[in-house]
Amino acid sequence: ELPQQPVISIVAGPPVSWKAVLPTERRLGSPFRLSLKGEDRWGNPSDQCDLTFRLRSNAPVNGLPGEITFKKGQFSVIVPDLTCDKAGDLVIELLDGNHKTATRSNPLRLLASRELLPYWGDLHGQSEETIGTNSAREFFEFGRDKAFLDICCHQGNDFQITKEFWAHLNELTAEFNVDGEYISYPGYEWSGNTGMGGDRNVLFMEEGRQIRRSSHALVDDLSDEDTDAATAGELFTALRDEDCMVFAHVGGRYANIRFAHDGLIERSVEVHSAWGTFEWLIHDALEQGYRVGIVANSDGHKGRPGASHPGATSFGSYGGLTCVLAAKLSRPGIMNALRRRHHYGTTGCRMVLDTRVVFDRPAERFDEDPNLGPTTSEPVMEAMMGDILRADGGEITFRIDAHGSAPIERIEIRNGLDILETYRPFAIPDLGSRIRVVWEGSEYRGRGRETHWDGHAELSGNVFVRLAPINRYNIDKRFEQTAPGRVEWNALTTGGFGGFDAWLDDGNAGTLKIHSEPVKAEIRINDIGLDDLVFENGGINRRIRVFRMPEENPHYQVTVERRLPLLKGRDNAFYVCIVQEDGHLIWSSPTYVFSRR
């Protein structure tokens, strides 16, 4: 062993992309900030920036400078104390020296009044003390200073958390938690095998609580082994009197919520993380009659909560985010919103999203799920995502208000397991010579679920004018146009989707042949239209879809209103899944409505 170990510094490269982050909603006159950073080709925040950008906004902003300068050594630039006097949706662009848009911020909605405001969090990630890289302290610093999060939670594998590290985590959460600025909860991942219930994430309201491990597999000190909870059911029993909440997770040991679930404690399911996209988890919950919300987080292993790129690994997804709609940015405020399912999840983008169920006659909104015991209620004429209500039969009005960080490709309007409508903000006359090829799905639920899509697509009687990959986060994998009518790729999916857009020289001529190991297809270009052409190959939604898009999609903002029937004898779980053109997905938590008769 060497007396002095060699040290290798791993540093960021030069920036190739830029991020501009605004809050999602604020009241008029309230101060807000614009957070800016550059990222290298692997998604690392870069301190190798040395550029000046002009700032352009779509509405007057008090205090917004005309330009900003990134200097070498800076990982970010913060523009504080901005205000607006006029209601509306604000977007700020960074313009380079050629007056071209380098990036566009997420939208900020400014309102005269609003009871609940959205706060963004990554509730699930790890650091080098359990599995991963960078320290737990650096984990929290990254979430606050480089991902611009409002909420951040460390969730180490329980069988790797020693007494000393648990005490250190509690010290860190107490230190980093600042009301109104940055909220952190002490917590951990209960990492039982799927047969014992599978991964669950535990968030405590305060420090100093007993960790209930699934085992001491990698913890040598067995002095507190008697506090272990060997099954998810035992965990829920042990947590029954704790001030905490739990959500189900799909990782190396996917959650089996059919085996164990406690609605008083387990309030949500995580449908997306760096492990992939797992809509089957919310489907499991709905099939069982559970009333849960939807979250999305990273479970990143690189210490980068809130901006978790997969890098050169078998992880094929960018880490998710959860938007919590809370009365106050504080531990009680955020926890109350989580327990009420007042939140939505994304695959990493920041969208303005509001879903409402509007009633023709007063409905009864419950403070807690009445299936779990006595609760109080009040009459209301409308409800938000996460609410549980009893109403007269007939119909309701479902309202969707979405403003994306990229153009909106489609909205699936759902009632439980049923897709009632796939809404697109464009119609057949708007379509052009752009086609979209999407590969998606997974082999199965467990570890090793990835599907490899290595292959190529070839045109006959036509050529590609331009190609653009979608969700290509594994940049070490090839995507290359090798001839005027041929593109080749290496790709994998773990429940989510990837693919590419192709702008054709002639929007109606020729044939497209797709060749991959899971799916092979031959399609006449003239047969590609608004609706998906689907080529299935078993697994969990493992398939290729092909459809046509407008040349340019201008629809960042969409408002949809539908009259929907209330079905009797079951929960009506009204929610949406939204697809942005850039490949990001957004899920609202369901609003649960059951009929009085």
* Amino acid identity, position 517: E
**Which pLDDT does position 454 carry in this prediction?**
97
Rg (CA), the chain: 24
Task: In whole angstroms, give the CA distance from residue 583 to residue 404.
Answer: 12
In the structure encoding, which two tokens stand for residue 489, read together?
């790729």
**Which pLDDT does position 252 carry in this prediction?**
84
End-to-end CA distance of the chain: 76
**Which pLDDT does position 597 carry in this prediction?**
64
**Which pLDDT does position 5 carry in this prediction?**
83
* Amino acid identity, position 16: V
| 195 band by pLDDT with thresholds 50, 70 and 90 | very high
**Which pLDDT does position 362 carry in this prediction?**
97
Average pLDDT estimate for 98-115: 96
Task: In whole angstroms, give the CA distance from residue 224 to residue 213.
Answer: 10
Answer yes or no: is pLDDT of 225 > 90: yes
In the structure encoding, which two tokens stand for residue 173, read together?
């959460």
**Residue 90 CA to its chain's centroid (Å):** 22
- What does the pLDDT look like over 8-25, one tens digit per residue? 888 999 999 999 999 999
Query: CA quadruple 295, 299, 304, 310: dihedral positive or negative?
Result: negative
CATH of 355-424+555-595, one of 2.60.40, 3.10.105, 3.30.70, 1.10.20: 2.60.40
Tokens 């559970």, residue located: 290
In the structure encoding, which two tokens stand for residue 592, read together?
């649960």
**Which pLDDT does position 210 carry in this prediction?**
97
Q: What is the DSSP string of 160-194?
A: G--HHHHHHHHHHHHHH-BTTTBEEE-EEEE---G
Give the DSSP letter of residue 285.
H
Instruction: Write down the H helix ranges in 75-128.
Output: none
CA angle 381, 387, 392 (to 5 degrees): 45
Q: pTM (2 decimals)?
A: 0.97
Average pLDDT estimate for 149-172: 97
Average pLDDT estimate for 358-372: 97
Average pLDDT estimate for 239-268: 96
Task: In whole angstroms, give the CA distance from residue 65 to residue 133.
Answer: 37
Average pLDDT estimate for 131-139: 92
Average pLDDT estimate for 544-573: 97
In the structure encoding, which two tokens stand for residue 106, read together?
């997420």
Answer yes or no: is pLDDT of 58 > 70: yes
- What does the pLDDT look like over 468-526, one tens digit per residue? 999 999 888 999 999 999 999 999 999 999 999 999 999 999 999 999 999 999 999 99
Q: Are 453 and 489 in contact (CB under 8 A)?
A: yes
Residue 568 burial (CB count, 10 A): 11
Answer yes or no: is pLDDT of 314 > 70: no
**Which pLDDT does position 447 carry in this prediction?**
83
**Taking the domain 118-348, which CATH number applies?**
3.20.20.140
275 or 349: which leads in pLDDT: 349
**Which pLDDT does position 391 carry in this prediction?**
96
Average pLDDT estimate for 149-162: 97
Task: In whole angstroms, give the CA distance from residue 349 to residue 200.
Answer: 24
Q: CATH 3.20.20.140 spans which residues of the chain?
A: 118-348
Give the DSSP letter of residue 61.
-
Q: Are 585 and 496 in contact (CB under 8 A)?
A: yes
**Residue 455 CA to its chain's centroid (Å):** 28
| 251 band by pLDDT with thresholds 50, 70 and 90 | confident
> What CA–CA distances, in Å, run from 369 to 150, 219, 340, 393, 592?
28, 38, 9, 19, 10
Task: In whole angstroms, give the CA distance from residue 209 to residue 242.
Answer: 8
Helix (H, G, I), strand (E, B) or coil at 473: coil
Give the DSSP letter of residue 45.
B
Fold held by 17-113? Immunoglobulin-like (2.60.40)
Instruction: Give 559: exposed, middle or buried? Use CB within 10 Å, 0-12, 13-18, 19+.
Output: exposed
In the structure encoding, which two tokens stand for residue 527, read together?
């047969």
Q: Are 479 and 492 in contact (CB under 8 A)?
A: no
In the structure encoding, which two tokens stand for residue 423, read together?
């809404």
pLDDT, averaged across the chain: 96
> What CA–CA distances, in Å, run from 459 to 437, 500, 549?
13, 14, 18
Using alpha carbons, select from 497, 502, 500 the residue that is nearest to residue 585: 497
Average pLDDT estimate for 424-432: 98
- What does the pLDDT look like over 389-422, one tens digit per residue? 999 989 999 999 999 999 999 999 999 999 999 9
Task: In whole angstroms, give the CA distance from residue 591 to residue 357.
Answer: 7
| 377 band by pLDDT with thresholds 50, 70 and 90 | very high
**Which pLDDT does position 515 carry in this prediction?**
98
Q: Are 191 and 214 in contact (CB under 8 A)?
A: yes
Query: CA quadruple 495, 498, 499, 501: dihedral positive or negative?
Result: positive
Using alpha carbons, select from 442, 426, 445 the residue that is nearest to residue 551: 426
Number of H helices, E strands in the chain: 5, 43
